[in-house]
Every structure is written in C-alpha cells, then in structure tokens.
Amino acid sequence: MKHTGRAFWIDSPGRGEIRDVALPDPGEGEVLVRTLFSGVSRGTETLVFRGGVPVSQHSAMRAPFQEGDFPGPVKYGYLNVGVVEEGPEALTGRTVFCLYPHQTRFVVPASAVTPVPDAVPAERAVLAGTVETAVNALWDAAPLIGDRIAVVGGGMVGSSVAALLARFPGVRVQLVDADPGRAGIAKALGVGFASPEDALGECDLVVHASATEQGLARSLELLTVEGTVLELSWYGDRQVSVPLGEAFHSRRLVIRSSQVGTVSPARPNRTYADRLALALDLLADPALDALVTGESAFEDLPDVLPKLVSGEIPALCHRVRYDESA
C-alpha cells in the first residue's frame, strides 16, 4: 500500500506552502504516524520563517527530521503529536510525541517516537519540546530551596521555566514581562508577575528568555552579589550588547548560557530520551494548558506563520490541528 502525506514547507523567507509527499512503507523497526496536533514554537520557528538563522548556525539549528536547508526551501519543526497507524505491536494505536515538522503523516524509526502518558492529553503534549528545554535549563541552573528567582521574558520557554519553578519548595518566583497580558498566564501557572520596572531584586538566579538587550540588562540589575543569569534567549542573526561595566565585576555576577541541543553536563547519567520522557510526565499538570494561546488548521499554516512573525497573532505556543481524514 502506498502512503501519502502533506507537509508545510518554507519556500523562501516569509513564504510558506503545503506540498504533497509520497511516503515509504514502514520497514522493520519503523512506524507510520498520523499527526493529530503539532505546535509552532513562536521564537525559533518565526526566526526560521523570516530567514534569520545565521550561516554559522545552519548546522547547529537543524531540526532532527528537517528537509532542505536554510533559508529555504526547508521543512522545519519539532513539536508533533500523532497516533501510530503501523509499526511494532507495542506502539500501534499509541499516541506518541516526535520531533517532526508539520506534516499529516510520516515514517520514522520507532526509536524516534516517545509514547505520551495516559494522563497527558494529546493536545497538551505538543508542549513537550519546550518543557524539555525548561528541564535542561533547570538542570543547568540547579536552583536551591529558598532561592529568590526571576524569569525575565514570559514567552513559551520562559513561561515553561516558571511553571516548573512553581513546584520548587520555598522559592520566590516572579515572571517578569513588559506585556501586562502575561499576568494572567503567570497566575494560571501559580507564580508572581511584575513589569520590568517593578520586579523584585536581590535574586540568586535570573533566567533570561526575552531575547532583548533590555531584558538581559534588567536581568543583571535584578541579581544579588554573585548571582547568576541563565541565558536562554536565541538571538539568531542579531548583535546584542551586554552591560559589563558599572558593578558587574565588583558584584561578581555570572552570565551562563543554556540550550536544549545537549543534555546538561550536570546530569551526565541522563539521555535525551530520559529528558523527553520526564518532560512528558510533567505535562500531566493541566496548568500548562495556559501556554497554548492559539490554534488553527494545518491547511491555514501558509497564512498563519506570517501573522505570528508580525505579531498580528500573539502567541506562546500556537497549536495546529489536523483533519482526522488527512
């Protein structure tokens, strides 16, 4: 039986299209997955859509099942939840998460899919990749009981970090964002909220995820002596100034990078699979539904992506739904 699918491609910067694709029959140790939902990670995917990936980062920024090359044509994405239609008996009929682009059906090795726990709805499981980034960040940051923490930038990654920090005992957590509309998300996640000018200082740790120079500067200002800024922002092709004058040295401040491309060296005994499985388990918390702020049909993606880039559609995670007959 010949299988077919439809995939979203970035034809050129700022322009997307849906293409028909022919699929191979799944072989030994492979699965055929029918997509139920996928997610648009607004920060990374809109940067890719506008052609903002620096040449020096073309290799590092490749998604696991990307086709084509930056700036385009390229098939890009990594938040996909579907049901296994064909494959090993243990997986057939299971809902699974895969780091696959926006496509109605696809064939991958069975090892590339992770079963979604029964307690996690498929529509929430699209957040797994972002929650996995937050897990890695907190492995890097290693917050301690009683820490005073700010998360600067209430986007998808920052809000995911704040959601996980809300579970830490005895910590003071504040989500900091210039958009007062993010206060509702903070409340749903169970953390405090403040505008940048009203944020509480003397922080032991600040997680920066606003991808702005102003946010990074404010993050440094919020630290206590010998405090740390964990930098999670991805700036793409933009040059960023860092304020290393004034009290930066005398207060012995630290700026440390973190990203999801490698498992934190603080957890040398954990694998990528371990980290993703943990992220999916954490998604049993319904409070994380607050991170999904929009939804559209797969067929509308060519019109939706430009609106996400321009901000006409404001979003943290924008969910894409697929027709059951696709």
- For the stretch 257-315, pLDDT in tens is 998 889 999 999 999 999 999 999 999 999 999 999 999 999 999 999 999 999 898 87
140 or 61, greater pLDDT: 140
Phi (first) and psi of residue 94, to 5 degrees? -85, 145
**Percent of all residues in the chain with a pLDDT value above 70, rounded to a whole number:** 99
* Mean pLDDT of the 154-175 span: 95
Is this structure's pTM higher than 0.85?
A: yes
Separation CA 320–CA 140 (nearest Å)? 31
| Helix, strand, coil tally for the chain in percent (to 5) | 30, 30, 40
Separation CA 116–CA 222 (nearest Å)? 38
150 and 192 Cβ atoms separated by less than 8 Å? no
Asked if residue 88 has pLDDT above 80, the reply is yes
- pLDDT for 238: 80
User: What are the extents of the domains in the chain?
Assistant: 4-117+284-321, 131-257
Separation CA 40–CA 127 (nearest Å)? 10
Out of 3.40.50.1370, 3.40.50.720, 3.30.43.10, 3.40.50.800, the CATH code matching 131-257 is: 3.40.50.720
* Mean pLDDT of the 249-255 span: 96
pLDDT band at 104, cuts 50/70/90? very high
Would you call 26 helix, strand, or coil by DSSP?
coil
Asked if residue 326 has pLDDT above 70, the reply is no
- pLDDT for 1: 53
| Mean pLDDT value across the chain | 94
Helix boundaries (H) for the chain: 42-49, 122-125, 128-141, 156-165, 183-189, 213-221, 272-282, 301-310
Separation CA 226–CA 236 (nearest Å)? 28
Q: At CA 267, angle to CA 153 and CA 191, rounded to 5?
A: 30
pLDDT tens, 141-157? 999 999 999 999 999 99
pLDDT band at 231, cuts 50/70/90? very high
Q: At CA 95, angle to CA 94 and CA 96, rounded to 5?
A: 110
pLDDT band at 95, cuts 50/70/90? very high
Asked if residue 236 has pLDDT above 80, the reply is no
pLDDT band at 325, cuts 50/70/90? low
DSSP result, 185-206: HHHHHT-EEE-GGG----EEEE
What does DSSP assign to residue 103?
A: B
CA 70 to centroid of chain Cα atoms = 19
* Mean pLDDT of the 200-205 span: 98
Is CATH 3.90.180.10 the classification given to domain 4-117+284-321? yes
- pLDDT for 144: 95
pLDDT tens, 216-229? 999 999 999 999 99
316 or 113, greater pLDDT: 113
The sheet with strand 223-231 has its strands ordered as 192-194, 172-176, 148-152, 203-208, 223-231, 254-257
Of 49-58, 63-72, 231-240, 261-270, least confident by mean pLDDT is 231-240
